[in-house]
Amino acid sequence: MAEKNEKEAPKAKKLADPAAATIDPASQQMIQRAHDLGVETAFDRAVTMKPCNIGTQGICCKNCGMGPCRLPLPKGGIEGEDTRKGICGATPNTIAARNFIRMIAGGAAAHSDHGRSVAEIFMAAARKETDAYKIKDKKKLIEVAGVLGVDTTVEVDGEQLDRDMDEIAVEVGEKALNEWGKAEGELLFARRAPEPRYELWQKQGVLPRNIDREIVEIMHRTHIGVDQDYKNLMKQGTRAAIADGWGGSMLATELQDILFGTPYPLASEANLGVMKEDMVNIVIHGHEPVLSEMIVAVSQKKEMHEYAKSRGAKGIQLSGICCTANEILQRHGVPLCGTFLQQELAIITGACDAMVVDIQCIFQNLANVAKCFHTKLITTHPIARMEQDNVIHIEFDEHHAIEDAERIVKLAIDNFETRKSEVMIPRQKSPIVAGFGVESIEYHLGGMFRGSYYTLNDNIINGRIRGIGGVVGCNNVRTRHNESHIQIVKELIKNDVIVLTTGCNAIACAMEGLLTPESARVFCGPGLAEVCETVGIPPVLHLGSCVDNSRILLAATEVVKAGGLGNDISDLPAAGSAPEWMSEKAISIGHYFVASGVYTVFGVTLPVSGAPVFKDYLFKEFEKMYGGMWDLEVDPIKHAHKMIAHIDKKRSDLGIDKARERILVDMAARRELESA
Ligand code: NFS
């Protein structure tokens, strides 16, 4: 036996081809470095781990102990009656719908639980139980108070006087927290949607009652032997998705804005090249900005800089991965280190002195990668811990937030001197302008004096801007990192579609240099270029993290309100996209876009192909009910053109298709004159 083993050389492990894995040269360099150092990353695991064909089709049911029941679609499709059944009799439609809405529940739970944490901190700040957090944006506090039905004035001697801000804040906190579990009534923010949308939800019976209830009910309905009608299952999926987009996520965004400030455009940089060899690099990764806000504040303190210098570093360089990155970018200009798929690569630079993680999108393998370097990996959230023994857990508590942040920053500084391996930081980084939101779009595109969405609408009506694309979502190792993100966005802006972006799509666009006003001249069609150059904005507007997709919903609502483009979100020349999605959160987002009336195209794959009737329901029937529907397109150029075709259809329904033809002729003629 021993002899035989000697003869058999161990099989070389299959590794990812860096050029095939990503379009980003910085990431390619780090994947290659990982190979050279024998460090494994998700890109390599994707080469050896093939996805399950049945799960990909959405027709594996493991909701009870008799299965899992797998109902793959026969090669060549179904001829005649579809007789596939699970042990209990569940059909492919039932199974796919159950799986789909469980994904919505997972995504809605993640966003909404994040929102709840923010609401709790908001409450602590309003009650003055913590010194670390204060109400920053009073204007937004008043605005949100109005939506939640909190009085902002009080009658004294027959006169209406402004109410005390602290009192308003406490009541807003109470009302907000109530949204997760109130016994009666309906989700208050649903009323923020255009009136016809709200009425449609009412008619369809999908107005959320409270956020938690809709998620719990999905778990109940998808238990064995409960809801067996895919249409009824999707009705609950829709209700939970609305509770996410117009509830948990929107509350997270609004309360974060009130606490930490509403973002306003600012300059920064993106990609691994933002790390600095001679500085202490702290990479913040995850989603909740409550701790990272404190880390930003602490690392700006003079004594921390002095301390870093005393340890041989020139200072402290913060940067971010995933949506925590987007949160601290928007409000403080902290640079973006990378997207979801670059988290391991940031450590592989050898320059990451500490990676601080909170919740969501965190690879468990970070601990294994950190072991190969000097990086301190610090978990901070009670619900998101790691089993590996090299992980340090510093549980964050809002009552001693500053102390926790100081401990973390000091740990990183002390670790600077212990760098083991040679440092290799890719040189790639791009300048960006980020920090857009409902308010700044109004300011920039609405004209300084007008203060409304009128000018944006006018530019859509006259055809300079063909329409609006909301392009969002993750990276997925099953596609080449960032390729679809970039190709789709470039194709949209080339065709005069302005892009609103969040999440990892925003980071991908940032890395590619699309978040600069200058990119308009290079990449946009003539109409969009003219608007962007006149106003001085990028053609791709970074609206923040994934919970900030709620900003896209509110911006769309503002467009409807400004007039001239129909009465509901479904009337707008707009479309949504998640080119490289992978998380359950993306499915929840996709579905609340659809339920809000948006045609939404996903890339990669969707777990519905094994249940063609259910798939048709999402892709076609939904449009009849909600004016928005799902689609799947893997080819990025076709993907963009499906969105553009939808935008054009809406333009023609609105009777504004001719205006665009006219204006483009005008512009071409003008250019001819200029060049003559
Ligand atoms: Ni969104 Fe943000 Fe990125 Fe996907 Fe993960 S970071 S919440 S889930 S991977 S976009």
Nearest CA to ligand 1 atom 2: 323
Angle, helix 249-260 to helix 549-562, in steps of 10 degrees: 90
- Taking the CA of residue 502 as reference, the ligand 1 atom at the shortest distance is 10
Q: One fold for both 92-260 and 433-675?
A: no
Measured from CB, residues less than 6 Å from any atom of ligand 1 are 287, 322-323, 340, 361, 473-474, 503-504, 545-546, 583, 585-586
Q: Average pLDDT of each block of 10 consecutive residues along the chain (676 residues)?
A: 54 90 98 97 96 95 96 88 96 98 98 96 94 93 96 89 93 97 97 98 98 98 98 98 98 97 96 98 96 95 97 97 96 98 98 97 97 97 95 91 95 94 95 94 69 85 96 97 98 98 98 97 96 93 96 95 95 98 98 98 97 97 98 98 98 90 70 63
C-alpha torsion angle, residues 351, 354, 355, 356 (rounded to 10) = -160
- Taking the CA of residue 339 as reference, the ligand 1 atom at the shortest distance is 3
Domain boundaries, the chain: 92-260, 272-418, 433-675
- Cα 81 vs. chain centroid, distance in angstroms? 40
Ligand 1: which of 111, 288, 292, 340 to mutate, most ligand atoms within 8 Å of CB? 340
Nearest CA to ligand 1 atom 6: 322
- In degrees, rounded to 5, the angle at the alpha carbon of residue 270 between the alpha carbons of residues 267 and 272 is 150
Exposed, middle or buried by CB within 10 Å (0-12, 13-18, 19+), for 340?
A: buried
Please tell me the predicted confidence (pLDDT) of residue 221. Answer: 98
Taking the domain 272-418, which CATH number applies? 3.40.50.2030
Residues ≥6 apart with Cβ < 8 Å to 399: 124, 129, 130
Nearest CA to ligand 1 atom 7: 546
Cis peptide before 68 (omega within 30 of 0): yes
Q: Which helix (H) or strand (E) holds 391?
A: strand 391-393
C-alpha torsion angle, residues 537, 543, 545, 549 (rounded to 10) = -150
* Encoded amino acid at 659, one letter: A
Please tell me the predicted confidence (pLDDT) of residue 676. Answer: 57
pTM (2 d.p.): 0.95
Residue 420 is given by DSSP the state: -
Are 469 and 577 spatial neighbours (Cβ–Cβ below 8 Å)?
A: yes
Ligand 1: which of 244, 477, 484, 504 to mutate, most ligand atoms within 8 Å of CB? 504
Residue whose C-alpha is closest to residue 343's, from 42, 588, 647:
42
Please tell me the predicted confidence (pLDDT) of residue 277. Answer: 97
Domain 92-260, architecture per CATH: Up-down Bundle (1.20)
Q: Three-class SS of residue 83?
A: coil
The 3-class secondary structure across 293-337, one letter per residue, is: HHHHHHHCCHHHHHHHHHCCCCCEEEEEEHHHHHHHHHHHCCCEE
- Taking the CA of residue 111 as reference, the ligand 1 atom at the shortest distance is 7
Ligand 1: which of 283, 323, 360, 502 to mutate, most ligand atoms within 8 Å of CB? 323
Angle, helix 211-221 to helix 165-181, in steps of 10 degrees: 10
215 CA from centroid of ligand 1 (Å): 20
Residue 244 is given by DSSP the state: I
* Encoded amino acid at 547, one letter: V
Please tell me the predicted confidence (pLDDT) of residue 7. Answer: 58
d(CA 345, CA 183): 47
Classified by CATH at the fold level, domain 433-675 comes out as: Rossmann fold (3.40.50)
578 CA from centroid of ligand 1 (Å): 11
441 CA from centroid of ligand 1 (Å): 23
338 CA from centroid of ligand 1 (Å): 12
d(CA 232, CA 79): 26
Nearest CA to ligand 1 atom 4: 474
Please tell me the predicted confidence (pLDDT) of residue 530. Answer: 94
- Taking the CA of residue 583 as reference, the ligand 1 atom at the shortest distance is 8
535 CA from centroid of ligand 1 (Å): 30
Please tell me the predicted confidence (pLDDT) of residue 2. Answer: 45
C-alpha torsion angle, residues 35, 39, 40, 42 (rounded to 10) = -90
d(CA 289, CA 386): 20
Ligand 1: which of 244, 472, 583, 587 to mutate, most ligand atoms within 8 Å of CB? 583
- Taking the CA of residue 322 as reference, the ligand 1 atom at the shortest distance is 6
What is each CA distance from 231 to 204, 570, 588, 614, in whole angstroms? 12, 21, 17, 8
Nearest CA to ligand 1 atom 9: 474
Residues ≥6 apart with Cβ < 8 Å to 69: 60, 61, 62, 86, 87, 90, 95
